[in-house]
Amino acid sequence: VHRGRDGQPIDLGLSLWPILDGGSEPVGVGVIARDITSGKLEEEQFRLAMESSAVALCLVSPEGQFLTVNPALSELLGRDAHTLEQSTWQAVTHPEDVDADAALVDSVLRGERDSYRLTKRYLRPDGAVVHGLLSVVGVRGDDGEVAYFVSQIVDVTELLQSRQALARSEEHYRLLAENTADIVAKVGEAGVLEWISPSVTQLLGWLPEEIVGE
């Protein structure tokens, strides 16, 4: 931190290199000073946005280490920030879902893509399973290599549980309809048969596939 003529602090990033004489003896130092005040302001704004977000967010190293996590992620995974920052995404992921995520991470590291989305399972310390919709973006340095990942996780546990319950309910209905002696049919708004139980063959002589759509 340096001070300008008006006394106000200025954050400068310095690059230094030796200036050599005709041989190999240093005769001075070259210096480039760059104002990084705006960069620090953007960093602070990003930090505040992460901490206040209701969505789980984190920064992760290329190896999988949690670098920064927000309170929403701590709540989602049931671990405080310090515990998470001593861990990796692999350690909190359901074992059956690690390989799929790792393959996508590798594709970003190889430069085949910049981001990806994946629905996967996380394990809380109490053994509870959390289903998360994970969105990941690789942030690259000047050399083109991934410096870190920005990850966002949306809890979709209740949504998936509701879908599974609906699928079970529909399966129960189908089993009942297909095994009843009465004719059970689903008819669209235009009066077109969309589905009819197999009992129509015994009672009316038609095969279901012959009249569905009529």
pLDDT digits over 78-134, tens only?
Answer: 999 999 999 999 999 999 999 999 999 999 999 999 999 999 999 999 999 999 999
Out of 26-35, 76-85, 131-140, which region has the weakest mean confidence (pLDDT)? 26-35
Query: Two tokens at 73?
Result: 């992620």
pLDDT of residue 37: 54
More confident residue, 7 or 103: 103
Tens of pLDDT, residues 44-68: 556 666 776 778 888 999 999 999 8
Mean pLDDT across 67-76:
91
Q: What share of the chain is helix, strand, coil (3-state, %, to 5)?
A: 35, 35, 30
Confidence tier at 41 by pLDDT (50, 70, 90): very low
Q: Which of 69-73, 154-158, 169-173, 180-184 has the lowest mean pLDDT?
A: 169-173
Higher per-residue pLDDT: 24 or 76: 76
Task: Note the pLDDT of residue 166.
Answer: 63
* Distance between CA atoms of residues 158 and 164, nearest Å: 10
pLDDT at 172: 67
Q: Confidence class of residue 186 from pLDDT cuts 50, 70 and 90?
A: confident
Phi, psi of 192 (to 5 degrees): -90, 135
Tokens found for residue 79: 């671990």
Kindly report the number of other CB atoms within 10 A of residue 113's CB atom.
Answer: 12
- The radius of gyration of the chain from alpha carbons, rounded to an integer in Å, stands at 30
Distances (CA, A) of 28 to 13, 17, 25: 19, 9, 9
Task: State the Cα–Cα distance between residues 137 and 105, nearest whole angstrom.
Answer: 10
pLDDT of residue 150 exceeding 50, the answer is yes
Residue 123, C-beta contacts closer than 8 angstroms, at least 6 positions apart: 92, 93, 94, 129, 130
Q: Which of 113, 95, 96 is nearest to 104 (CA)?
A: 113
What pLDDT does 183 receive? 83
The pTM assigned to this predicted structure is 0.56
22, pLDDT greater than 60 = no
Q: How confident is the model at residue 167 (pLDDT cuts 50, 70, 90)?
A: low
d(CA 90, CA 96) in angstroms, rounded, equals 11
